Amino acid sequence: MSRFTGHTVIVTGGASGIGEATVRAIVREGGKVLIADLQEKEGEALAQQLGDAAIFQKTDVTNEADIIAAVARAEQALGPLTGMVNNAGIIGAVGSITETTVEAFDRTMAILSRAVFLGVKHATKAMKPHGKGAIVSLASSAGVMGGLGPHTYTMAKHGVVGLTKSAASELSGYGIRINAVAPGGTVTPLTAALTGGDTEAITEFIKSSTPLGIPCLPEDIAGGILYLLSDEARFVTGHTLAIDGGITTSVLNTSFHHDDSEILLHAGQRTEQ
């Protein structure tokens, strides 16, 4: 018996990047998945590859009726909903706050924040009668500190962390756990777009800007998502799990251990050694 045998999970944005890695990992561990994404071709192709364990439903996560339909189809085709992964995302509005339009702001918030609210709302409605379930939403290292993403993205991801904390005690009463993961830079089509699709360049950038000095792959994030969805995390709720190679551990984003003499001298903190 595998860790996700008997589980039915919806993964929004499951046709690409972190979502795709999550879909594949759940299926590998015996679960069934509804891939809810706007990208029809990619989503259908992934579902076909995975056989009976996965179905695709074209979904715009900003549209409440689409979320309701995805939940209904998952339960009807695959079984009672046990997991919801609110993962769909974009980078959204970029640039100076003075140049950010209300339209770009609203669109970004709708995909990154309101959609998470909708996913939590309708997954909870479905899970309540079963008295059990687990919800995991994608925050970001930009959801726990400033300077790691554009303004609207940062605001939206802080909102994801906030809802995760806020909803935890209400949902506990129904046997439902809610958690978030906060990835640092991860090599996916979303970040590759920042280097004009050059995967090697974004991999190198993530490596060099992360204390651990290795590139984060979608599978690294999927591992955390699966833990939080699984019964191994049965006592964990309201938590945001950083999977970021250490990027949120230090404002200096460097380690005294690499060359303590220079840094400690400059900080005027050198003690006798």
Ligand X SMILES: NC(=O)c1ccc[n+]([C@@H]2O[C@H](COP(=O)([O-])OP(=O)(O)OC[C@H]3O[C@@H](n4cnc5c(N)ncnc54)[C@H](O)[C@@H]3O)[C@@H](O)[C@H]2O)c1
Residues within the interface to ligand X (CB under 6 A): 12-13, 15-19, 37-39, 59-62, 87-90, 111, 138, 140, 183, 185-186, 188-191
Q: Which lies closer to ligand X via its Cβ, residue 167 or residue 181?
A: 181
Residue 121 beta carbon to ligand X: minimum distance, rounded to whole angstroms: 16
Residue 174 annotated among the catalytic residues of the structure? no
Nearest distance in Å: CB 178, ligand X? 16
CB of 100 to ligand X, least distance (A): 17
Burial class (CB in 10 A: 0-12, 13-18, 19+), 256: middle
- Rg value, the chain, Cα: 19
Beta strands in 60-125 (DSSP E): 83-86
Residue 218's CB is within 10 A of a number of other CB atoms, namely 21
Q: DSSP 3-state assignment of 15?
A: coil
Active-site position among 16, 17, 153, 242: 153
Residue 91 CB, shortest distance to ligand X, in Å, is 7
In 10 A of CB 269, how many CB atoms?
Answer: 10
Identity of the residue, 7 or 157, whose beta carbon is nearer to ligand X in the bound complex: 157
Query: Which residue's CB is nearer to ligand X, number 6 or number 146?
Result: 146
Instruction: Locate 222 and state its tokens.
Output: 């999927």
Judged on CB neighbours under 10 Å (0-12, 13-18, 19+), 69 is middle
Between 174 and 205, name the residue whose CB sits nearer to ligand X. Answer: 205
Is residue 268 left, alpha or beta, with left meaning phi > 0 and alpha meaning psi from -120 to 50?
left
Active site amino acids: 153
